[in-house]
Amino acid sequence: MKIKDNYKVRSIAGENLIVEQGKSQADMTKVISLNSTALLLWNALAGRDFTLDDAADVLVGHFGIGRDVALKDVQRWVEKLQECGIID
């Protein structure tokens, strides 16, 4: 899977928001804010193909958590981004 290239993270008013590039008007009904862990995953995985295992490796390496916990967390992260059409 891959994060679509037309989505970028911007810091707006102290929040990390996903913004679709190239649109003349933003759809503010779909504001997606990233917490620090979601931003860590985004920064590590944007611009390349990745698997759930790749994403879990990021969390295990950064936080030292168990692989099972990491896989559950990244599954939820991916599902949310897929629901919004941000991940192919």
pLDDT at 70: 98
Nearest-CA neighbor of 33 among 44, 49, 18?
Answer: 18
pLDDT at 75: 98
The answer to whether the CB of 72 falls within 8 A of the CB of 59 is no
The answer to whether the CB of 62 falls within 8 A of the CB of 73 is no
pLDDT at 31: 75
What does DSSP assign to residue 3?
A: B
Residue ranges of the chain whose pLDDT lies below 70? 23-30
HSE-CB at 18 with a 13 A cutoff on CA atoms is: 23
Domains of the chain by residue range: 7-83
